[in-house]
Chain A
């Protein structure tokens, strides 16, 4: 077992453990913090896949912006007086568990028709070139989606401000 494999297994264990804790933990702040651990683990896996750019973007966007927004939202929606108690799950939790088990079986069934699982990843040419290729294709082939994404972001942020604006009555 090479160092890469050990590193991958550690990162995967961290991601899955943190994800389970996000779903199960009763304290919402803890859930948000475990979400950060899971997202960081995914960033480590991106590094192992030689996608350094996305590892950085993952840390900056997901951890730096999205997870912090989550923590803010958790703190803004805390019920005063510690009414966080009581069941956090639906009463029909076993239906949910059954459904997600079915989903897992479905995914495994679809994937089982594919033969290439043992394929080793090919050697990479030049990572620096990859990033510049990415940048070039964003402003040539994918120019329209790129611009639309920026319009979407502006619209979403204006919408968020409008929605959460406290109207003075």
Chain B
């Protein structure tokens, strides 16, 4: 059997990679993908702990995280497409219209 530490380690590294992607990339869609990676790492650790303690509550959380992620992606990608139509770019450095 695999000890719980392996799952936590995998989740921590996956979260760090996702955070790096959010900070380092300029394309908004890749930033979204990195956010999905981070959500997945959180889900992973939820499922692992729910398995460790034989508790269902962790899995319920995963259920709701997935729902919110689906909603977020639908709205976020619609926004991306609309921004692209208006500015012909989804580079986050160029989304500076609100800057004074």
Find out whether the CB atom of B44 lies under 8 angstroms from the CB atom of A50. no
Contact with A along B1-28 (1 / 0, CB 8 A): 1111111101011111111110111110
What's the Cα separation between A142 and B63 when bound, in Å? 11
Question: B89 to chain A: which residues have CB within 8 Å?
Answer: 79
Interface residues of A toward B: which range?
A: 35 or more
Find out whether the CB atom of B27 lies under 8 angstroms from the CB atom of A157. no
Find out whether the CB atom of B77 lies under 8 angstroms from the CB atom of A70. yes
What's the Cα separation between A84 and B87 when bound, in Å? 15
Find out whether the CB atom of B93 lies under 8 angstroms from the CB atom of A66. no
Knowing A100-B23, A107-B16 are in contact, say whether A51-B73 is a contact too (CB < 8 A): no
Contact with A along B37-74 (1 / 0, CB 8 A): 10010011001101110101001101110111111111
Question: B85 to chain A: which residues have CB within 8 Å?
Answer: 166
What's the Cα separation between A20 and B88 when bound, in Å? 28
What number of B residues sit within 8 Å (CB to CB) of A?
Answer: 68
Knowing A74-B29, A76-B84, A107-B12 are in contact, say whether A51-B71 is a contact too (CB < 8 A): no
Question: A149 to chain B: which residues have CB within 8 Å?
Answer: 64, 67-68
**Cβ-defined partner of B5 (8 Å) among A20, A118, A153:** A118
Question: A65 to chain B: which residues have CB within 8 Å?
Answer: 70
Find out whether the CB atom of B60 lies under 8 angstroms from the CB atom of A137. yes
A-B contact count (CB 8 A): 216
**Cβ-defined partner of A89 (8 Å) among B25, B62, B74:** B25
Find out whether the CB atom of B59 lies under 8 angstroms from the CB atom of A153. no
**Cβ-defined partner of B40 (8 Å) among A2, A4, A8, A42:** A42
Nearest B residue to A76 via CB reads B81
Find out whether the CB atom of A121 lies under 8 angstroms from the CB atom of B73. no
Contact with B along A29-43 (1 / 0, CB 8 A): 001100100110010
Knowing A62-B66, A117-B3 are in contact, say whether A96-B73 is a contact too (CB < 8 A): no
Q: Does B95 contact A (CB under 8 A)?
A: no
Question: B25 to chain A: which residues have CB within 8 Å?
Answer: 23, 88-90
Question: A77 to chain B: which residues have CB within 8 Å?
Answer: 29, 80-81, 84, 90
Nearest A residue to B31 via CB reads A23
Interface residues of A in 1-22 (CB under 8 A from B): 2, 4-5, 8, 12, 15-16, 19-20, 22
